[in-house]
Amino acid sequence: MRLTRRQERGFTLIEILVALAIVAVALSAGMRALAQATDTASALKSRTLALWVAQNRLAVAQIANPWPGLAVYEGDATQAGIRYLWRATVTSTPNPSFRKIEITVAAPDVPNYELARLVGYLGNSNPQ
């Protein structure tokens, strides 16, 4: 008595498990890349908003009358609904008609980590 084996079409259980393992690894790598891209976009947004805060503070200092004294100024500002801390350091330059201003911006929860730094120069519009 001879048993004949019929040709079956389809995949074996091992082939299906290997294919599922490959798909799982690929999806895991894709999710990791997506999470990293989301973190990068969030950090970029925060840095951009912090730079806008610094630019606003520089503009305020440039139009101030009288111009800011040699000192360190601190405050907070809200940009796009997010609160930031800023620090403006005004120092002298070799030319007494100009002053250097350095503005740093940080998030309130991490005040020692600068999100933005901007350096500008102020001219005295009312020389004495």
How many Å separate Cα 92 from the centre of its chain?
Answer: 31
Give 44: exposed, middle or buried? Use CB within 10 Å, 0-12, 13-18, 19+.
Answer: exposed
- Give me the pLDDT at residue 4, please: 61
| Domain covering 13-123 in this structure, CATH number | 3.30.1300.30
Residue range 45-74, pLDDT digits in tens: 999 999 999 999 999 999 988 888 999 999
Residue 126 clears pLDDT 90, i.e. is over it: no
Q: What is the mean pLDDT of residues 73-91?
A: 96
SS (H, E, C) the chain: CCCCCCCCCCCCHHHHHHHHHHHHHHHHHHHHHHHHHHHHHHHHHHHHHHHHHHHHHHHHHHHCCCCCCCCEEEEEEEECCEEEEEEEEEEECCCCCEEEEEEEEEECCEEEEEEEEEEEEEECCCCC
- Give me the pLDDT at residue 39, please: 80
Residue 80 clears pLDDT 90, i.e. is over it: yes
Structural domain boundaries in the chain: 13-123
Percentage with pLDDT > 90 across the chain? 62
Residue range 21-38, pLDDT digits in tens: 999 999 888 888 888 888
- Give me the pLDDT at residue 114, please: 95
Residue 1 clears pLDDT 60, i.e. is over it: no
